Structure 1
Amino acid sequence: MKRILLVNNYDMSQSRELYVKGSSPSHHLFGTNELIESGKYEVDYALVSPKNYHNKLLKLLSLIPIWIKIYKKSLQYDYVYGAADFTVDFLGMAKKIGLFRPKLIAIFHHPPFKHRLAIEKFDGIIFLGKDAFNEMKATFPSQSNKMHFFQWGPDLKFYERIATIPNCQNEHKEIVFISNGKTKRDHEILVSTSEAIKTKTIIVSDKQNLPKNFNADNTYVEIFYQEKPDDIKMVELLNRCSVLVIPTPKGPVKYGPIGLTSLVDAIALGMPVITADNTVFAEIVEKEKIGLVYKSGDMSDLKRCMQYFLDHPEEINVMGQNAYNYGRTHNITAFAQKLEAVLKLNK
């Protein structure tokens, strides 16, 4: 049986425990639950997280003793699988100079990637966005055979157990928009747009990240407070809504996989999506006809997209069904199969 050490910046052992209890979907472990259940792999977990310093240099220095500990531990394994960008950088540098024997597989989440690929070495590199995958293949052709694009997808059984009727089969007597993400979200534009077109919108937030323009005078926007993740409550909430909005702020052309967890929710439940054009999945939303794309930071364009669903409510079920169909083939089972293929390439 092959042994894998899964390294991430949040507690993977806790995620595995929540999955086993039925409280959390398996996709939070990036394909390793499915490998465990195949009976061919043993998976252990390691946490790499910097101390909560405000100074970036101090944060980096706090990682050094953790990386040394991980280096020693990982020598016992056949594979090391880094599920977050910085968690295996030290191992990548060690492999570059021939000081690391186990096979090293890593998911590259957030650009820029060029400097990492110049000074680190990996046996397998997984991109969650096709644009970054194509760019890095062109930039580093000698490493292109190690690069792979995987579409991250949902644990369908988890959603089906909680939401017995998918959103695309629900009757939407009241159209409700929702944004359920916290990282790099332009919720201010969503509040302003919802109030302008007088439509009900729910924003999931903790107390620290409330939209700056949300107050008691807001008539159409409601805050669903969530101080810590609860996957079951989130699926129940989403299943009562109509359209999922992913309003990333104006910024770089592509943010990396910001908003991808929300897309995973949408394709699992059969919800249409409105997303800004600087998400890595904007092209998928348009190509697969699972929603609409607006220009990031442009309130009039977001208004256009939201108004479209208000004027054409039948499209909620049509685009929702397209999202649902996409989720049947782009799920965590397919992700895990591709991951196993990469592992087999690196026996």
Structure 2
Amino acid sequence: MDKLLSSRFNHESLPGDYIFPPELRPGDLKIPFSSSISVIDLSEAQNGDRTNTIQKIIKASQEFGFFQVINHGISENAMNEVRSVFKELFEMPEEEKQKLCSNDPSKKCKMFTSSVNYATEKVHLWRDNFRHPCHPLEQWQHLWPENPSRYRECVGSFSVEVKMLASRILSLISEGLGLECGYFEKGLTESVFLSINHYPPCPEPSLALGITKHSDPNLITILLQDHVCGLQVFKDGNWIAVEPIPNAFVINIGYQLQVISNGKLISAEHRAVTNSHDTRTSAAFFVAPSDECIIEPAEALTDEHHPPIYKAFNYKDFNSHYFAKYGNTDIVLKSFEVQKG
């Protein structure tokens, strides 16, 4: 593995192995923010307007697969503190960060540059990444880094709050789809995986990418954006920038929720672009089923007029297929569709 981007001091020119082919380059980086990405006030659901909140979430999930939430119950102090810890993590001396790096595919907690396929990929991503499981907390917390010294405590308490937020949102989605209470509890949300992306300033951002176009393989993603913009969603053939709203979380629908909803909700394609001035650090909490969980369209959402679009599958098998076909959204779900005729 090459040296971490956050440990290099010369970013004056973009190395050739970071330049994407013309058809994949981000090109124009001055994409406007879109007002069509809903910003939903979750406090309304607690203050007697639950039905209206549910309708907004379902509409956004059907049309966009993306929305933002404010007044979600996680304090501004907690959000700022965890951002500070993530920043501190990538600013540690090189020798400290190297302790977290590993080429061992079985290691659950590790840091790397670009992707885990660095040695074989044709073009590298302009990012460093640190990832690890964080639920159940008692199973994983002892594997997290001891430096920064407050990492375990701060990220641990924050991840518990994020898991609770995910449960609240999924409860609203469940009600909006007409599913039974508690449908998304237990096996469907047994795993939470944290992925922290760190994007240093890039010398030629129009030629590079932080993350290529993809949809998330999990159930639902809770994203803590940085104050620096970089997230873009693909909608109707165009890229739309997602505005970094203070104290908001970005929520996006994963493939598993698209399958369970029998295609009523969509998992939108998205990417991360870079910039030449500011470092950007974002943290995605991937809420996912257990490996052995069977995923299929909810029985309540299928009948003779609405037959299942997808066949039942094991989540572990889906994940293996997803990472083999990563980046090719059209192919990923095709293998799991019910064949017609």
Higher relative contact order (CA 8 A, sep 6+): 2
TM-score, normalization: structure 1? 0.28
Bigger helix share: 1
